Chain A
Amino acid sequence: MHQTVDAALGINLLHANQAGADHNRAHFDQWGITCLNLMSSPGAGKTALLERSLSTLSKEFKVAVIEGDMTTELDAERLRQFNIPVIAINTGRSCHLDAKMVAGGIHRLEHDYNPNTFDLVLVENVGNLVCPAEFEVGEHAKVALLSVTEGEDKPLKYPVMFQEADCLLITKIDLVPYLEVDVSRIIANVRQMNPHAAILPVSAKTGEGIDAWHEWVRSQHQTTSARQKAGLAIEGHHH
């Protein structure tokens, strides 16, 4: 006999991914690692930013990079010169990293290195302004990059990414004199949907604004570490 039954679920469509992201974050918390998820359209300068930043950040922090790329290891190769672990994840046809793929990266970090000694994991997501915003990977904060060549209206057209960002880097700021672009309009457009994000104009080429970005990373690491220590203290209390 066929009897039709209804089950009320009321759960998030991305429930499985969310659970995976929480699991990843729990690992990071346990190891005292701050994880940042870098997202942007292709060519906004995520790898260039990392190339500029890693020489400084790797002196202060023990850093690893998880690098999402659709088919190649080209970006990962660019970052290996800094003598830090660069874990490349080929996402295949998938246009974003999801929690499960990053879990694979974390597993390699755990297997090949001593994760307890790391402070910072930078996830370079696949270049895409749309879906990485919906797929959490276990990060403590989201960093969006928007280059000045992409136009002022991008935040209006791809609002979810910019609404979710904790930090927005306006990249290639050195090109402003050659373009008809009004950076204040980019900022105003982002502010329409995100009053809280740190908005930092940077140039990976000239180094302009890079100190402010590093300062933001330091403060994120500080906040996250404090939260992790408090969390572990509470956990310890229960045992």
Chain B
Amino acid sequence: MHETDMTKALILTVKDWWESQSERCAVSKVYLTVGQFTCVEPASLQFAFEVQTQNTFLEGAQLVIQETPLIAFCHQCQRDYHPEIGIQYACPTCHSPMEDIRSGRELKIDRIEYSEAEYAPNC
């Protein structure tokens, strides 16, 4: 269940950002972009996030995942194509290998929505 570890990594990254802020804000939403050509399954990530954020600074925060399709650029044909994951990655026209991935490898935290009200009484 590697989404557990992926979520751990995500929480760590958000925590780094959170701690770098001058005030301890309350995070309401975390927006992610997850490419189809990654090892991440959005539904599992969603579940792991809910579980792992309990009793942390991210408790109650919502994870919003936008998926991006796998798109590669074929230099031979000078055009984009959609490789079929699990079936065919080479260019369907000229069979050049998939080399230049233009979309689908993203694992990105796009933005964080938060309210400026204090997160904890001590802040």
| A residues neighboring B (CB under 8 Å) | 1-17, 93-96, 98, 128, 130-131, 133-135, 156-157, 159-160, 163, 191-195
Contacts and interface: CB of A to CB of B under 8 A. Distances in A.
A134 B97 CA distance: 21
Contacts of B90: 191-193
A11 B13 CA distance: 9
B102 interface: no
Given A7-B111, A10-B108, A11-B108, A16 B16 contact: yes
Interface string B30-52: 00101001111000000000000
30 contacts: A1-B116, A4-B113, A5-B25, A5-B113, A6-B111, A6-B113, A7-B112, A7-B113, A7-B114, A8-B110, A9-B109, A10-B108, A10-B111, A11-B17, A12-B107, A13-B32, A13-B108, A14-B13, A16-B9, A94-B5, A98-B5, A131-B2, A131-B39, A134-B107, A135-B5, A156-B89, A192-B88, A192-B90, A193-B90, A193-B97
Contacts of A160: 37-39
B109 A13 contact: yes
B89 A13 contact: no
Dominant secondary structure of chain B at its interface with chain A: mixed
A10 B97 contact: no
B85 interface: yes
B116 A3 contact: yes
B12 interface: yes
B89 A192 contact: yes
